[in-house]
Amino acid sequence: MDSITARNLLKLQEIDEKIEEVKSRLEKIPTEIKHLQEEKQKVIDEYEKILIQKKQLELTKKEKELDIQDLQQRIKKIEDRLNTVKSNDEYKALLREKAQAEESIIHLEDEIINIMEEIENISKKIKEFEKERDKKIQEIENQIESKQKEIEELNNQIQNLTKEREELIKHLKPQDIAQYENIKKKVKTKVIAVVDDQVCTGCYMVIPPKVFTELLKTENLLRCPNCGRYLFYESK
């Protein structure tokens, strides 16, 4: 193998590495987008939750107001009967019943005041949340959009790199590409390892002096005795 082929294989390797890098980035983006969408849904759900809380409080308040109305009607009936009642015992019993109803009303009114306070607090919270919510959702949507743009860009990059690769392959012999693919299957990364300071940058082992001396002289591409990668040496 001559040094032009070696250079072309090195270029091929660079392109393959870039393609893999872009592909692995591409694989991660859909999950990132999914997480952002979940985050957005969480903000929406949280908002819905406080709205429901407020509605429930308002409902409870309404119920207690109706209870008061019932009690007031009962008091009115008791008062009517107090005017017509004959026996003393019955009169006393009605007075007791009236007092109980009045006490219940006071109790309910206290509860309503507490609920109103809660409603006021939650209304404030809702207003604050609305401001934050729109901002947060906008932010998340911007992030999603930029990730979708990134997918487009990365797909373009892959297209360009694939074109570049096709062009480069035209200048390589099929058996050289076959061998390149073969070693690639075994070593996964760096089929061609640049030799740096007598070290194979594929496996980071020092190249035996005999091999290194040969590497300096020969036009042929030698393989690392340790990892089997092609060695590419360029004198500085």
Q: Give contact residues for Zn ion (rule: CB under 5 A).
A: 200, 202-203, 224, 226-227
Minimal distance, residue 172 CB to Zn ion, in Å: 22
List beta partners, residue 223: 230
Considering the complex, state which of residue 159 and residue 213 has its C-beta at the smaller distance from Zn ion: 213
Minimal distance, residue 179 CB to Zn ion, in Å: 16
To which residue do tokens 């990668």 refer? 229
Considering the complex, state which of residue 12 and residue 183 has its C-beta at the smaller distance from Zn ion: 183
Considering the complex, state which of residue 104 and residue 226 has its C-beta at the smaller distance from Zn ion: 226
Long-range contacts, stretch 65-70, CB < 8 angstroms, 24+ apart: 65/112, 67/104, 67/108, 68/105, 68/108, 68/109, 68/112
Rounded distance between C-alpha atoms, residue 202 and residue 229, angstroms:
7
Considering the complex, state which of residue 159 and residue 220 has its C-beta at the smaller distance from Zn ion: 220
Pick from 147, 149, 151, 148: nearest CA to 159: 151
Minimal distance, residue 196 CB to Zn ion, in Å: 11
Minimal distance, residue 225 CB to Zn ion, in Å: 8
CA angle centred on 207, ends 201 and 210, rounded to 5°: 150
Backbone angles phi, psi at 196, to 5 degrees: -125, 115
| Structure tokens given for 44 | 């929406």
Considering the complex, state which of residue 194 and residue 227 has its C-beta at the smaller distance from Zn ion: 227
Minimal distance, residue 132 CB to Zn ion, in Å: 56
